[in-house]
Structure 1
Amino acid sequence: MKYLRKSLIPLCCLGALCVTAGTASAATVTDTATFIFVVGDDPYTETGSANEWSTGHGDIGVGYHDGELELHYHFVDGLNDSAPNSDLELEPHEAYIRAASSTSSITSGPISFLGTNTGDTIWRLPQSNTAGIPFIGIAGEELTNPPITSDVTLSLTRFSGPGQFAIWQADGVNPPDVFMSTAIDGVDPAVDQITFGVGGHDHFNYGFSAEGVYEVEFTASATAVPEPGSFAALAAVGACGTYIRRRRKSKSGVAQA
């Protein structure tokens, strides 16, 4: 290049950092986003109100683009199953999830991870596909190895709402597997988390103890190795199973939900 002097050291050694083309170092990649849940039947008129997810299958998806993870909504058949095979993606702020009054029930016993007692009302978006209710998966099906070389961890990092919030799985026989619960310990990202592999996809129960608007912030994190071409480009500018791993929270004396 005409503006380089012959006396300059090779570009790959700029800044005392020597980078060999085709090699890359693993790094932690993350993304943080807030997802809105509207519990009950009251209208919601805030940002994203034009896109209400009130029925059908969709996922809170984790993708990877330009060296970072990307949290988003992914609807294979469109929002509310309105357009088969349309493969719609929306940013978290472009939609919200509705847990209508049809998702409410009266508890038959105390549920510690929702902070409720016998006879209380809870609202639950179920882990099984139920007509007229959002069927929410958590998915890393868009990820590949490489560049993602580790499991993905989805942590609860912030929460606000009129009641308690929890995510769990239950089989109706054994005690629930509780992954996130604001009633047990508030918000603790080291404990309130779901871990899944590249290509993973699973469904959960999402529970709420009161009507109103819940803002739930998730942070996704994983280890990535940049593609050789992109890593070399950094040097050029002198930067020289699918499965779900279940992490149980401490619990005792809880009712099945």
Structure 2
Amino acid sequence: MKTKRHPFRTLCLVAGVFLPLVSSQGASLYTYGHGDIRVGAVGGQLSLQYYIGAPESDYAIVGGEFVFGESFAASDIWVNVPVQLTTTLPGEFPLLAGSAGESVWVIPTNDPYPIVAPFLGFSTEGFDGSLWGGFQFTLGEVRSPSGSGEFAVWTGLDGGGINPLLSTVEGVSQDSFTLTGNGHVHHFMGFTEAGLWEVDFTVASTYLPDGTLGSATETYYFHVVPEPTSFCLAAAGLAAVLLRRSRCRA
């Protein structure tokens, strides 16, 4: 007996295959609110982690649950970058090797309400600036979905323009930026394509009383959501292939 398969149902099943990927590695999807890439200390050594939300006043959503100021390992979190954070470049943007009319995804520096999305900062809170030298953040290896995407970190300037801090494009940005102890700052982060990104950040500082240099490197994960048209076309194409194969087998 032949089983009738509906194309729309097949499409839904295909979409269902994609969605669980956000938790296939055991990481929680960070979808809303304030968070920081924060410098910490473990066993007397510098570390990098996340601090998401704030006690009682500033909640975030991680793994579908409210978070009010909790620390997470970098590997335990995927930062969701929704399609609503896509913007069209009005002109050349060397920091992302972008041209006018191209789409990029940008994590904002503050709450993008009414868009439901995370906004990220960098933090050295808890470190005494009189005991530690500047905390220098550098960009390490960046693994984009296609292997050829571009990533950048920058800040806006009063009166317009940008201050290019970090970029995978050679020769268009600084090699690092520095925070003092008990520092906190928000920068824009940009991506040129959808998919799962792996971004290595390193922080280094000197403990001034004895001159000890400390450093830490961690990989941070960003789940950049495709534009609806491209996602639907990809899903519909795969659904058509599956449907065709099912008919051939029937």
- The equivalent of 1:80 in structure 2 is 61
- The equivalent of 1:47 in structure 2 is 25
- Give the match's secondary structure for 1:102: helix
Alignment of 1:111-130 (within 5 A): 111-130=93-112
TM superposition score normalised by structure 1: 0.64
- RMSD, aligned CA: 2.6
Runs (5+) with no aligned partner, structure 1: 1-40, 228-257
- The equivalent of 2:40 in structure 1 is 63
Deviation at 1:93, TM superposition (A): 0.5
Structure 2 distance, partners of 1:108, 1:83, is 36
Does 2:113 correspond to 1:135? no
TM superposition score normalised by structure 2: 0.65
Distance 1:48 1:154, change over 3 A: farther
Runs (5+) with no aligned partner, structure 2: 1-17, 211-250
Deviation at 1:89, TM superposition (A): 0.4
Alignment of 1:136-151 (within 5 A): 136-145=120-129, 148-151=131-134
- Give the match's secondary structure for 2:87: strand
1:218 to 178, 195, 201: 201
2:143 to 137, 142, 160: 160
Structure 1 distance, partners of 2:29, 2:23, is 10
Q: Is residue 48–residue 96 contact of structure 1 (8 Å, CA) maintained in 2?
A: no
Deviation at 1:80, TM superposition (A): 1.9
1:173 to 137, 146, 159: 159
- The equivalent of 2:89 in structure 1 is 107
- Give the match's secondary structure for 1:80: strand
1:52 maps to amino acid: L
Does 2:182 correspond to 1:182? no
Deviation at 1:58, TM superposition (A): 0.6
- The equivalent of 2:77 in structure 1 is 95
Structure 2 distance, partners of 1:101, 1:166, is 18
Segments of 4+ moved more than 3 angstroms: 76-79, 81-84
List per-residue Cα deviations over 1:140-189 (Å, max 9, x = no partner). Answer: 0121246x420101111211103100000114733210100112349x9x
Deviation at 1:69, TM superposition (A): 0.7
Structure 1 distance, partners of 2:152, 2:73, is 23
Q: How many residues align?
A: 182
Q: Is residue 79–residue 88 contact of structure 1 (8 Å, CA) maintained in 2?
A: no
Q: Is residue 150–residue 168 contact of structure 2 (8 Å, CA) maintained in 1?
A: yes
- Give the match's secondary structure for 1:217: strand
Structure 2 distance, partners of 1:55, 1:111, is 27
Structure 1 distance, partners of 2:53, 2:31, is 15
Distance 1:129 1:171, change over 3 A: farther
List per-residue Cα deviations over 1:99-131 (Å, max 9, x = no partner). Answer: 111110111111110011111011001112213
Structure 2 distance, partners of 1:113, 1:225, is 34
Structure 2 distance, partners of 1:140, 1:48, is 27
1:195 maps to amino acid: T
Q: Is residue 57–residue 80 contact of structure 1 (8 Å, CA) maintained in 2?
A: no
Q: Is residue 96–residue 152 contact of structure 2 (8 Å, CA) maintained in 1?
A: yes
Task: Tell me which protein shows more helix as a share of its residues.
Answer: 2
Q: Percent identity?
A: 23
List per-residue Cα deviations over 1:200-220 (Å, max 9, x = no partner). Answer: 001010101111111110111
